């Protein structure tokens, strides 16, 4: 069976630090029907040793076909793997030709775990993924052993990757992360403090001083100097005498 091993390691993005968190094989319940088919084929194949020589090939052909079909189904379930990594989930399946379906953790919106009555007795269930793109081969993963624990594993990986917000366990409200403090201005862009200003309020005292000087000039009857007119072009508009 090692010849048909899917070899999960070759599908990992090792140079980006991807590691396998869990490799899920099919539960044994997935091959029960194939094993029953294998026994039925063996029963059909057995009479070929006791029938007349002219017709021995009939049960041999039918029984051999059933046995080969059952063995193919068992091998198909053996090569079907569901892998959980720290970056994505993917499924590898196929015997002669291999197929791989992958989905990043960021695209997983919800995971539903369906456990039938027989699955609750024997310990298996089915995963149903709700993602941002449904047209992929990871819509449903059947016959997953210990589905509750593996569902929690996926949720933990998503949480550790920081792809979902935390919830307060008491209020059940989402916890909003604190906003980062605004960056301080560069030293060259900070306003200079007046001389003697040690507490940062010198600008207020300077403004009060200018206001008192203005009121004192008004009491003495003096007028404040008019501010210089602002010329946006910084050019004079006087006429220019040109030589004739």
User: What is the reported pLDDT for 78?
Assistant: 93
pLDDT band at residue 242 using 50, 70 and 90 as cut-offs: low
**38 and 69 housed in the same domain:** yes
Q: What is the mean pLDDT of the chain?
A: 80
132, 149, 164: which is the final residue of a domain? 164
Q: How far is CA 31 from CA 37, 66, 79, 95, in A?
A: 10, 15, 12, 16
Judge residue 11's burial from the number of C-beta atoms within 10 Å of its C-beta, 0-12 exposed, 13-18 middle, 19 or more buried.
middle
120, 148, 164: which is the final residue of a domain? 164
User: What is the reported pLDDT for 70?
Assistant: 96
User: What is the reported pLDDT for 138?
Assistant: 82
**Percent of the chain surpassing pLDDT 70:** 70
Q: How far is CA 151 from CA 14, 84, 174, 214, in A?
A: 24, 10, 21, 76
Residue in 78, 81, 82 with CA at minimum distance from that of residue 154: 82
**9 and 47 housed in the same domain:** no
Residue-range definition of the domain harbouring residue 156 = 1-26+82-164
Question: How many angstroms separate the CA atoms of 111 and 131, rounded?
Answer: 9
**72 and 86 housed in the same domain:** no
**Residue 241 resides in a domain:** no
User: If you average pLDDT over residues 86-98, what whole number do you get?
Assistant: 92
**Residue 233 resides in a domain:** no
**Residue 242 resides in a domain:** no
Give pLDDT tens digits for 123-160: 999 999 887 655 566 889 999 999 999 999 999 998 88
pTM for this entry: 0.63
Q: For residue 48, is pLDDT > 90?
A: no
**40 and 68 housed in the same domain:** yes
**92 and 152 housed in the same domain:** yes
**Residue 108 resides in a domain:** yes
**52 and 91 housed in the same domain:** no
pLDDT band at residue 239 using 50, 70 and 90 as cut-offs: low
User: If you average pLDDT over residues 61-85, what whole number do you get?
Assistant: 95
**Residue 43 resides in a domain:** yes
Give pLDDT tens digits for 158-195: 888 876 555 455 554 445 556 565 565 555 554 555 55
Total number of domains constituting the chain: 2
**94 and 142 housed in the same domain:** yes
**95 and 159 housed in the same domain:** yes
What the block records as the tokens of 117 is 């009555």
CA-based torsion, 165, 169, 173, 176: positive or negative: negative
164, 198, 227: which is the final residue of a domain? 164
**Residue 208 resides in a domain:** no
pLDDT band at residue 228 using 50, 70 and 90 as cut-offs: low
User: What is the reported pLDDT for 194?
Assistant: 52
């Amino acid at each position: 069976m090692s010849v048909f091993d899917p070899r999960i390691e070759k599908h990992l993005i090792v140079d980006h630090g991807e590691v396998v968190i869990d490799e899920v094989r099919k539960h044994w319940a997935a091959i029960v029907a194939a094993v029953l088919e294998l026994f039925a084929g063996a029963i059909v194949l057995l009479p070929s040793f006791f029938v007349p020589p002219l017709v021995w090939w009939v049960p041999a052909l039918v029984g051999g076909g059933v046995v080969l079909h059952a063995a193919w189904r068992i091998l198909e379930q053996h090569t079907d793997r569901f892998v959980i990594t720290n970056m994505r989930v993917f499924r590898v399946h196929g015997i002669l030709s291999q197929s791989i379906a992958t989905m990043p953790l960021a695209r997983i919106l919800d995971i539903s775990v369906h456990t039938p009555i027989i699955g609750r007795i024997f310990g298996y269930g089915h995963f149903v993924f709700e993602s941002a793109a449904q047209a992929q081969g990871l819509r449903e993963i059947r016959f997953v052993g210990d589905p509750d624990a593996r569902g929690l594993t996926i949720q933990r990986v998503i949480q550790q990757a920081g792809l979902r917000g935390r919830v307060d366990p008491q209020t059940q409200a989402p916890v909003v992360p604190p906003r980062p403090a605004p960056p301080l201005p560069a030293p060259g862009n900070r306003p200079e403090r007046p001389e003697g200003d040690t507490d940062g309020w010198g600008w207020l005292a300077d403004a009060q001083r200018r206001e008192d000087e203005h009121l004192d000039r008004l009491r003495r009857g003096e007028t404040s100097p008019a501010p210089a007119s602002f010329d946006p072009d910084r050019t004079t508009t006087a006429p220019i005498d040109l030589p004739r």
